[in-house]
């Protein structure tokens, strides 16, 4: 079992774009939206994954992720996911020794930009890039699973 330790922030502006080392297209849907254990199917560029995540405990939660075939993922997204399918572009930015993932949402969540930084442990210190705004770690309304379950559009 893996552990995911990440902090999440709103993004103030788009000054991160020229700093990005890569940009990924992501489409994801949820097979299960239970707060105690979500199951997500994600297509990231030309690869696909199924991920099970446990309940958040602050910035920490259990996580299991497995690569699956692209065609299986597409079929799952189209046939068995709940709620809204989330589409976004992820900009990967290295900033003072940490990798930041900045998600620019499309579709019903256009205008929402969130950044995450994964950490080795909960007390790891890190520099905050200038484009980062309010911290929203632990605020459920910013979880992708909650956004998906809102059934907008």
Q: Using CA atoms, how far apart are residues 8 and 141, in angstroms rounded to an integer? A: 12
23 in Cβ contact with 89 (< 8 Å) = yes
User: One of 30, 91, 95, 109 is an active-site residue; which one?
Assistant: 30
30 is catalytic: yes
CA diameter of the chain: 42
Residues annotated as catalytic (active site), given as ranges: 30
């Amino acid at each position: 079992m893996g552990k995911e330790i990440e902090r999440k922030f709103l993004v103030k502006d788009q000054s991160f774009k020229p700093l990005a080392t890569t940009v990924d297209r992501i489409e994801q849907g949820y097979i299960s939206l239970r707060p105690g254990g979500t199951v997500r199917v994600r297509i990231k560029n030309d690869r696909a994954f199924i991920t099970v995540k446990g309940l958040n405990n602050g910035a920490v939660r259990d996580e299991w992720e497995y690569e699956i075939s692209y065609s299986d993922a597409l079929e799952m997204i189209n046939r068995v996911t709940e709620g809204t399918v989330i589409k976004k572009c992820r900009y990967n930015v290295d900033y003072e020794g940490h990798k930041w993932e900045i998600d620019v949402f499309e579709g019903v969540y256009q205008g929402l930009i969130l950044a995450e930084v994964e950490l080795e442990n909960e007390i790891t210190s890190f520099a905050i890039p200038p484009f980062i705004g309010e911290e929203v770690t632990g605020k459920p309304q910013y979880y992708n699973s909650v956004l998906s379950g809102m059934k907008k559009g």
